[in-house]
Structure 1
């Protein structure tokens, strides 16, 4: 199962996503914003999958993905989970190689997107 970083400023969504992914056997760490995510990556290493909200205060999901890639996370698979449903946002997500799911989301679609990344969890997650 994959090492998954969940970043969403909504406590309820973050908790629900974490719960569903843990129930599917993934190692999950969840934080509320991009700065927390970068600090966590510095401490624990790069995740295999990042599930990112697009609209967050400070650093948005696109900026966070770019920062992760600049820190050596070129291979991190990204799943954007967003209430932004405009075609331009979806297209931008695809352009950066991410899976783009909209809120409200179907848990099985999220789990499938994460599991397409493969990988085995390490103890640090």
Structure 2
């Protein structure tokens, strides 16, 4: 169960997983304003843990963002080649080859304007490799566990800065 708090509203989410599937459902104590804060473009969320991917997707949608989800680096790259996005929220370490740094480098080479709205999520920000990547890449990081309000605040700031610069 996850608890999502925003603007005095509280939502409870329950996630059930089965092999290859994720089912999320929830209820709210008071309605969360679901206004679109990312414009017409979605945010791409990249997370290889299905339950976290499902939670991030629902949390961002309830925070007013349109969301596309990818459960692997390869899936994320395929989506990035096909669609435009307002921003990317990406786990630093992904199973199966293509990780967060490789996705960021692809974005930097192929969609430079999107690189200013790229947010890494990591559970080991103090790991020497993560520290080195943070210094080398320069993209913002948010460390697990974090509050949903913190994620929304950072993402709203990044997407509003992007909208102001690239409008």
Q: TM-score, normalised by structure 1?
A: 0.84
Tell me which of 139, 152, 161 is aligned to 1:98. Answer: 139
Residue in structure 1 matching 2:150, options 93, 96, 109: 109
Higher relative contact order (CA 8 A, sep 6+): 1
Do the aligned partners of residues 31 and 68 (structure 1) sit closer, same or farther apart at CA in structure 2, a change above 3 Å counting?
same
The residue that corresponds to 2:121 in the other structure is: 81
Distance apart, 1:87 and its partner CA: 5.5
CA gap of 1:96–1:74, structure 2 versus 1, over 3 A, is farther
Q: 5 Å matches for 1:55-66?
A: 55-57=93-95, 58-66=97-105
Match for residue 123 of structure 1? none
Counterpart CA distance in 2 for 1:74 and 1:59 is 21
Alignment gaps of 5+ in structure 1: 120-125
Equivalent position of 2:90 in the other structure: 52
**Alpha-carbon distance, 1:85 to partner:** 2.5
Give unpaired runs (5+ residues) of structure 2.
Answer: 1-36
Size of the alignment, in residue pairs? 119
Q: Does 1:40 align with 2:79?
A: yes
Task: Return the alpha-carbon distance in structure 1 between the equivalents of residues 101 and 142 of structure 2.
Answer: 14
The corresponding residue for 1:122 is none
- Conserved? CA contact 1:54–1:80, under 8 Å: yes
Give per-residue Cα distances to partners, 1:23-81, cap 9 Å, x unaligned. Answer: 01111101111111111122222x22110101112111111110122112343311111
2:62 corresponds in structure 1 to 23
User: What do the CA deviations read for 1:65-113 (whole angstroms, capped 9, x no partner)?
Assistant: 1012211234331111111121641452254232211111210110011
Higher strand fraction: Structure 1 or Structure 2? 2
